[in-house]
Amino acid sequence: MERFKRSFGFVLVIGVLSGAWAQDNGGAVSADDLVWGAAPPFLPAGVELVVLDGDPTQAGRFTLRLRMPAGYELPAHWHPRQEDLTVISGSLNVGMGDVLDLKSMAV
C-alpha cells in the first residue's frame, strides 16, 4: 500500500498541472493538448497516463486517461474504491482475482 501511495504522488503532480489547466480553460481540454507522462513505476514499462480531473491520492472521484501499446498486460491488482473505465480505442480484457489469468478474462 505504501508503494501505491508513493507512486500516485507522481501522478498527483501531473494531475495538479493538468487540472489547473482545465479549470483555466472552462473545463474543456483538447486531446491534442494533453500532457502525457510515464505511469508510476509499479506498472510495467510502456503505459502513459494523464490525470484529467481530481486527485488520485485523495478520497473522491478522479479521472485518468491511460495509453497502452497493443498487447500490454497489466499485472493483477486491486483498487480501494470504485473505478470506471471507458475504452476509446482497441479492446480491454478484464479478469478478477489475485493472479493474471489470461484464460479467464472477458473482453
d(CA 20, CA 41): 24
Pairing of strands 37-38, 48-53: antiparallel
Instruction: Indicate the number of domains in the chain.
Output: 1
Task: List, for residues 46-67, the tens digit of each pLDDT value.
Answer: 999 999 888 888 888 888 898 9
- Look up the pTM and report it: 0.60
The CB density around residue 31, as the number of other CB atoms within 10 Å, is 8
**Does residue 102 form part of some domain?**
no
- Residue 58 belongs to what domain range? 2-74
d(CA 95, CA 104): 6
39's grid cell: 505511469
H-type helices in the chain, by residue range?
2-24
19's grid cell: 487540472
**Does residue 25 form part of some domain?**
yes
Range in 20-24, 76-80, 87-91 with the lowest mean pLDDT: 20-24
